[in-house]
Amino acid sequence: MTYEINSPFRYAGGKFYARKLILEHFPPHTNYIEPLAGGASLFFAKQKARKNWLNDTDSDVMNCFAIIRDYPEDLIERLKDEKATKERHSYYKKEFEPTTDLDRAVRWFYLNRTSYSGIMNMQNCYWGYGDKYSMRPENWPRNIRRVSAKLQGVKLTSLDFETVIKEAEDEAFLFIDPPYFNRDQDKFYTHSFTREDHFRLCDVLRRHKDNVRFLLTYDNSPEVKELYQWANMILEKEWNYTINRTDDQKNHTARKGTRYKGKEFFILNYSMQLPLNAQL
């Protein structure tokens, strides 16, 4: 399947609200790679390329993608009687002990769909489900089947991003969305992205800039601009988005319709004179 759908996951720091703007800057390509996929919002929002590779160092998210791709009905069967409740959320977070890859996928999927902002770092993974604003459990099977169809033939790995970039075929197009350079992201993710990782990412992209094309999204900061002064283009982009109501179990609060403005750098190593949005 090549159609555009939503990611199956809620993912802190994901690009759900900026998808349309980002896609306008994609060049034509036949080989698509996300070295830091996370929830892979851009992959699901675009037409599939002939070759596709999703990677993330978080083996739990990649395992869940793999189970959805290869064993969607098994996952659906395990989740079919689940209800979205604080009690079940607490059970999967504190008591359930996975012994198989399917167990891991069940736990990850349930917690992700019912946690505040999709935060999966267990220290900050709190109940955050609302019937009016979250995907209801009765709709999970349809979502899983659609995602499984799109993931067919997609390469899924849990490697270091540098390995993926080094192994990318010539002329591949990479969309790369690392955590912000100047913000503490440890509370959101189970695998932290260190300051050294930011420098390492810059170095490996510079060494391979003549072999692959990439679009890199980053926080708008002087440090990032200085790091990537060698890139072809650094574009300042903004977008508006609204966060619907979610319940925060830790703070016993609820928010509805809070408006935010996204502001980032889009860093490219190719010319924007290419036709836009031409997905092959």
Instruction: Convert the pLDDT of each residue in 84-143 to its tens digit.
Output: 999 999 999 999 999 999 999 999 999 999 988 767 766 777 788 888 778 999 999 999
Q: How far apart are CA 114 and CA 249, in angstroms?
A: 11
For residue 210, is pLDDT > 50?
yes
| Predicted pLDDT at 241 | 52
Query: Percent of the chain scored above 70 by pLDDT?
Result: 82
Residue 182 has pLDDT above 80, yes or no: no
Q: How far apart are CA 204 and CA 201, in angstroms?
A: 5
Q: What is the mean pLDDT of residues 194-204?
A: 95
| Residue 189, pLDDT above cutoff 60 | no
What CATH topology corresponds to 16-268? Rossmann fold (3.40.50)
What pLDDT score does 10 carry? Answer: 83
Q: Which has more confidence, 16 or 269?
A: 269
pTM for this entry: 0.87
Q: Which of 232, 209, 236, 212 is nearest to 222 (CA)?
A: 236
Assigned token pair, 114: 């019912």
Task: Please state, for a pLDDT cut of 90, what percent of the chain lies above it.
Answer: 67
Report the pLDDT averaged over residues 72-88.
Answer: 96
Is residue 278's pLDDT more than 60? no
pLDDT of residue 259: 52
What is the per-residue pLDDT for 133? 76
